[in-house]
Amino acid sequence: MDTVYDFIIIGGGAAGLSAAQYAGRSNLKTLVIEEKAEGGQALLIDRLENYPGLPEPINGYDFSVNMRRQAVEFGADFTIGRVTGLSRREGRFVIPVESAAGEPVVYEALTVLIATGATHRHLGVPGEEEYYGRGVSYCATCDGPFFRGKRIVVVGGGDAACDEAGFLARLTDRVTLVHRRNKLRAQKALADRTLRNPHIAARFDTEVREIRGEPGPTGKVTSVIMENVKTGEREEFPCDAVFIFVGMEPQTALASLAKKDEAGYLVTDENMRTSIHGLLAAGDVRAKSFRQVVTAAADGAIAAHSASICIDEQQCEANR
């Protein structure tokens, strides 16, 4: 088995799949390593309706299958396995992988893309997992339009919660922002704007303890149980959706030496290059202001182009 590649992509979400397509099309010998199933966060999308050029909604699974098929047609290889490390030796990156069969394999590459994404922090309350996709969401831009005119609870007090509450307040005049502290953590201007919004009602010193809904596999959210953290008083609050914004955890363990921002995201330039030569980052794992499937795909395309340039530069240096 040949284990040496021009470009290895760690992570098979929208960024990784897009990078694989563009790299394969550029005639780079490319490998995508994904631990679970290609698609990443997109696999959880029930109706992807805001991707340019796709006027009819498509579910995340079908969308991901199509992206993978394109990448394969352009020559990219795929493997399922868990990357256990990343180092550099004699001008190449060394990537040990535990295969799906449990066998160790070591790959090498001239360039590497970290496209491992970020995971949403969860509340960990009853009903959160059960009603995910049926009223519980972690993305207002993705799912907010399904709840126009409905009763929406937003959980969180940082920049993301305030930004997303503002977006949702354009869709309905019944947004309730729930925060466990006595004031918002967001930047002052953003917090002030949120509190002035007539469509947003803030509930401070309050936590969501449970999410309730209709019984059965198609049941939807109907209410949340709120608790005042100072008095301990609980109430059932009717709502149609719960949007949770209590932070993200970028998956950057493999790039521990690369520069990160204060939130732990990988810092790149506009060409997706990290502080380590030949190591690129794309998608939700990198520091950026807007995270969507379309922006992840764009990151991936740029990263593949940057990998090609980097490899050309290395070859030129070797031929001098």
| Range(s) of the domain holding residue 211 | 122-244
CATH number reported for the structural domain that contains residue 185 in this entry: 3.50.50.60
Neighbours of 155 (CB within 10 A): 27
Helix or strand holding residue 207 (H, E): strand 206-213
Residue 111 DSSP SS3:
strand
Q: How far apart are CA 203 and CA 180, in angstroms?
A: 8
Boundary (domain end) residue, out of 184, 219, 244: 244
Comparing C-alpha atoms, which of 196, 222, 200 is closest to residue 211? 222
**142 pLDDT band (50/70/90 cuts)?**
confident
H-state helical runs in 51-94: 60-73
Whether 16 and 100 map to the same domain: the answer is: yes
pLDDT at 306 (0 to 100): 98
Lowest mean pLDDT among 63-77, 156-170, 195-209, 226-240: 156-170
Q: Could you give the dihedral angle defined by the CA atoms of residues 64, 287, 259 and 109, in that order, rounded to the nearest 10 degrees?
A: 20
- pTM of the full structure: 0.77
Comparing C-alpha atoms, which of 117, 129, 152, 153 is closest to residue 252? 117
Whether 26 and 98 map to the same domain: the answer is: yes
Cβ atoms of 239 and 151 closer than 8 Å: yes
CA angle 9, 247, 226 (to 5 degrees): 145
- Return the DSSP state at 265: P
pLDDT at 320 over 60: no
- The model's pLDDT over 249-302, given as tens digits with 9 standing for 90+, comes to 999 999 999 999 998 999 999 999 999 999 999 999 999 988 889 999 999 999
pLDDT at 319 (0 to 100): 55
pLDDT at 233 (0 to 100): 97
